[in-house]
Structure 1
Amino acid sequence: MTSPTPPTEPTYADRTFRSSAGMVGGVLLLLMVGWLGVDALIRGDGRVPWLALAGLLTAVPLIVAFTLRPVVFANDRRIKIRNPFRTITMPWTAVADLRAGYSSELFTEDGTTYQLWAVPVSMRQRKKAVRQQSQRSLDDPYDRTSVHADVRDTTSRMAAADQTMADLRELVERAKAGAGPGESSKSAATSEPSASLVSVRWAYELIAPAVVGAVALVVLLATG
């Protein structure tokens, strides 16, 4: 007699938030550094190829870490923040707030703050959005919608970072509203403290080669 198959947990599709400008800049930097480094490796004399190799070993992981790696994955259950050198995963019930000031930040219930590198704040975009809102108020002081206005065009008057944070806050509110009375988001009401719900993994695959390259570069320059 076979035992019953346990029910599988439902899967939730991730929404992805990242900086397209950062990715483009990262690819361009990698191309430039790769071109200069490979050229120095092939044509350099004496210690130049070794310096180029150490420089590449230092620069490439750092460029990848700060431009291509940052991303935020979010679904109905949890958020995963992939920053340059670590990945933070936590359920929405451990999140207290999300704010975008000069940078995008997530605050947990136990008071810890995490930066969202994948959601950079552009003050230029924010000022432009404020100007658009002000112009709309001047054009329509009594808040009457013109027959030619596009009522769907509400997010265009928000900066990209502010819109992303608004989307994430909506996921937080939805998750906490769906939690029952026995699933309070406050750590005092749960059997586990908030800190135990947060998983942090360091990106040693980027840290190690960058450190090795930096040490080699310092040694080569010091002994030159």
Structure 2
Amino acid sequence: MKQTYRSRFAFVMAWVWLAFVALNVWDLIVRYNGKASLVALAVLGALTALVYAVALRPATVFTEAGLVGRNPFRTTFLPWAAIEDVTVSHAITVRHGDDRVLRLWTPMSSARERARAQRRGAATEQRGRFKTEPTLPRAEQAAAEAFAGKTHADWVGEQIRERAESARRRGEEAAPARTSWSYDAIGLLVVAVALVVAAIVA
């Protein structure tokens, strides 16, 4: 079963940007006034290609066979058994064969999110037997304890580590990573830049 993790904030803001672009494109087409409209359309296209590359495309994907890290311009596949170590700071860093490192673009943790997670963890620890707090259902309480003091990136990093250890225990082969270029994102940027140049020169 495939599981995909990405930055919720970036994903939502990217779709907000696409809605904004759609409205502006409609307005520029309806009120077309020559070269200025062409340049504006080309600039919107270039910015949209950039938004796709850095906000919509990046994702961390769990598959049965391994970890897929989709960064703006490259996609890396790592078999679970090939993962040697996982560290989490503001981003998740996955170390694999020959001291190579894969830095995942998403999910990331900001300083604000980490501080909020630490406060949440401290609040969980302070709960006493006679506190007059509302009682959570067992499932919600287990989820709260699992996430106490952790950011989303911390939790995803733990899941990667656990899957890698499980694959090694099963004796799976630690095959090398496979990396490929993201031709869709690169193609979009090339086309968008070409449109901007053509609109300026025309």
Q: For this structure pair, what is the TM-score category when the shorter chain's length is used for normalisation? A: 0.7 to 0.9
Question: 1:163 is matched by which residue type in structure 2?
Answer: W
The Cα RMSD (Å) is 2.6
CA distance in 2, matches of 1:138, 1:31: 44
Structure 2: which 5+ runs fail to align? none
Q: Which amino acid aligns with 2:34?
A: G
- Residue of structure 2 equivalent to 1:188: none
The correspondence of residues 1-224 of structure 1 with structure 2, limited to 5 A, is: 13-139=1-127, 152=142, 153-157=144-148, 158-179=150-171, 183=173, 185=174, 197-218=176-197, 220-221=199-200, 223=201
- How many Å apart are 1:76 and its aligned residue? 4.2
**1:122 and 1:159 in contact (8 A); partners too:** no
Structure number with larger C-alpha Rg: 1
**1:76·1:175 contact (CA, 8 Å) conserved in 2?**
no
Deviation per CA, 1:19-44: give whole Å up to 9, x if none: 22221111001111222233223313
What secondary structure, in the 3-state scheme, does the structure 2 residue paired with 1:154 have? Answer: helix
Identity %: 26
Structure 2 Cα separation of the partners of residues 200 and 42 of structure 1: 44
Give the letter for the 1:32 counterpart.
Answer: F
Q: 8 Å contact 1:72–1:116 — kept in the other structure? A: yes
Q: TM-score by structure 1 length?
A: 0.74
Deviation at 1:122, TM superposition (A): 2.6
Distance in 1 of aligned mates of 2:10 and 2:33 = 35
Work out the number of aligned pairs and report it.
Answer: 194
Q: Do the aligned partners of residues 111 and 83 (structure 1) sit closer, same or farther apart at CA in structure 2, a change above 3 Å counting?
A: same
Normalised by the length of structure 2, the TM-score is 0.82
